[in-house]
């Protein structure tokens, strides 16, 4: 395989591409891409598209699929570290930048850019949510501005709305009708060429199913006062500045993430209300992202330089406290008061 790719690259870089050769090689690469089943397969497919892009010069679609392969590698490589996933996306970013130079008015380019930003966000939602959420939405709007009917841009926009609602513990069944309409219209969108992107329909089907399940649960839940969900108010005091936001996580007793949210700071205090929380045992972690760089800053010794804290005002010695010290029981509407360190 390596010998074939090396020979292929030599031929392409020597003679370049005629349009017929481009069509043939893209067709072969697309067939292989359709058979991808693993991270390694994505890497092989990416190499094919990279060779075509190098030879084709002014064609943006090989760059598109080269970038998409690396984006999908970041999503699918479950054993990769955050650093390794970012490395995949660094490769994708370079192809996206080249695409924008070649096709600055192509809607699909910006839809893929939005997917790239989404991949950056999901690596570490707690610290990257604010920055990459804004960048994702901007790219989606850039895509829709160039083609208001682009179904991939619409799918990404809807996914973001559903994801944001889930993040804040809101009802996602309200998006069911929008998801069903997008799915119904999907096949009516006319592709602009044989190699143009077609992905996204499976994701919309998943959104329809997810919103439908939530809707069914809502319908089957008695509308009387039998719900056990209550509201948790968190007051965080002794914050050192008014800038930035509080980044907060709620975890269950097994250290599984329940939700992530953020809160503004006013007069040295941040008040965050979490609605409709099930009774149970929980723990809270937070830090004050005072400079809005979406991470908790530390000095050269690894000690935090921004305020932080935990539920029960738990403290550790030269490290975070043991998790069991953070656990508290939540059974009714309640307010907990925490102090930032």
Contact 12, 50 (CB under 8 A): no
pLDDT given for residue 236 in this prediction:
94
pLDDT given for residue 6 in this prediction:
46
Residues 215 and 234 in one domain: no
Length, in residues, of the chain: 341
Q: If residue 109 lies in a helix (H) or strand (E), which one and from where to where?
A: helix 107-123
CATH number, position 265: 2.60.40
Residues 85 and 212 in one domain: yes
Residues 162 and 303 in one domain: no
Q: What is the DSSP letter of 36?
A: -
Give mean pLDDT in consecutive 10-residue pieces for the chain, a chain of 341 residues.
Answer: 47 59 94 94 96 93 98 93 96 97 96 96 82 88 94 94 77 91 95 92 92 64 57 91 87 86 86 87 92 79 86 84 92 91 86
Contact 321, 310 (CB under 8 A): yes
Asked if the structure places residue 268 within a domain, the reply is: yes
Contact 45, 32 (CB under 8 A): yes
Asked if the structure places residue 261 within a domain, the reply is: yes
pLDDT given for residue 277 in this prediction:
87
Residues 246 and 212 in one domain: no
Gap between the Cα atoms of 21 and 56, Å rounded: 9
Contact 179, 161 (CB under 8 A): no
Number of domains, the chain: 2
Residues 170 and 208 in one domain: yes
Q: Which of 220, 242, 258 is the last residue of a domain?
A: 220
Gap between the Cα atoms of 340 and 313, Å rounded: 8
Residues 168 and 32 in one domain: yes
Residues 169 and 312 in one domain: no
CATH number, position 192: 1.25.40
Residues 14 and 144 in one domain: yes
Residues 6 and 100 in one domain: yes
DSSP assignments along 287-307, one per residue: EEETT-SSS--B-TTS-B-S-
- Backbone dihedral angles phi then psi of residue 240, each to the nearest 5 degrees: -85, -15
Name the pTM for this structure.
Answer: 0.63
pLDDT given for residue 301 in this prediction:
74
Asked if the structure places residue 27 within a domain, the reply is: yes
Which structural domain range is residue 326 located in?
230-339
Q: Which of 171, 190, 220 is the last residue of a domain?
A: 220
Specify whether the backbone of 268 is left (phi greater than 0), alpha (psi in -120 to 50) or beta. Answer: left
Residues 61 and 108 in one domain: yes
Residues 259 and 175 in one domain: no
Place of tokens 């990769």: 80
Asked if the structure places residue 7 within a domain, the reply is: yes
Asked if the structure places residue 225 within a domain, the reply is: no
């Amino acid at each position: 395989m390596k010998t074939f790719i090396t020979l292929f690259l030599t031929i392409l870089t020597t003679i370049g591409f005629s349009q017929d050769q481009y069509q043939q090689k893209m067709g072969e690469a697309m067939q292989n891409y359709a058979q991808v089943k693993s991270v390694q397969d994505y890497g092989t497919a990416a190499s094919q598209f990279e060779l075509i892009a190098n030879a084709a010069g002014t064609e943006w679609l090989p760059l598109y699929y080269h970038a998409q392969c690396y984006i999908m590698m970041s999503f699918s490589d479950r054993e990769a570290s955050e650093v390794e996933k970012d490395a995949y996306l660094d490769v994708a970013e370079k192809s996206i930048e080249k695409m924008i130079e070649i096709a600055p008015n192509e809607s699909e380019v910006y839809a893929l850019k939005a997917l790239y930003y989404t991949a950056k966000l999901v690596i570490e939602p707690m610290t990257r949510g604010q920055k990459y959420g804004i960048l994702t939405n901007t790219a989606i709007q850039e895509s829709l501005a160039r083609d208001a009917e682009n179904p991939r841009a619409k799918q990404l926009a809807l996914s973001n709305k559903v994801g944001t609602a889930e993040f804040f513990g809101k009802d996602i069944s309200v998006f069911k009708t929008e998801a069903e309409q997008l799915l119904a219209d999907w096949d009516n969108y006319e592709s602009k060429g044989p190699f143009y992107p077609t992905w996204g329909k499976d994701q919309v089907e998943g959104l329809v199913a997810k919103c439908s399940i939530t809707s069914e649960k809502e319908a089957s839940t008695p509308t009387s006062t039998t719900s056990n969900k209550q509201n948790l108010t968190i007051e965080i005091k002794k914050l050192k500045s008014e800038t930035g936001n509080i980044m907060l996580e709620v975890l269950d007793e097994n250290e599984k993430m329940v939700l992530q949210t953020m809160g503004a700071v006013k007069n040295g205090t941040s008040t965050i209300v979490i609605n409709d929380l099930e009774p149970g045992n929980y723990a809270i972690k937070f830090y004050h992202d005072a400079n809005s760089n979406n991470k908790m800053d530390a000095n050269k010794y690894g000690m935090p330089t921004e305020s932080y804290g935990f539920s029960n005002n738990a403290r550790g010695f030269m490290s975070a406290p043991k998790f069991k010290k953070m656990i508290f029981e939540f059974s009714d509407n309640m307010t907990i008061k925490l102090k930032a360190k």
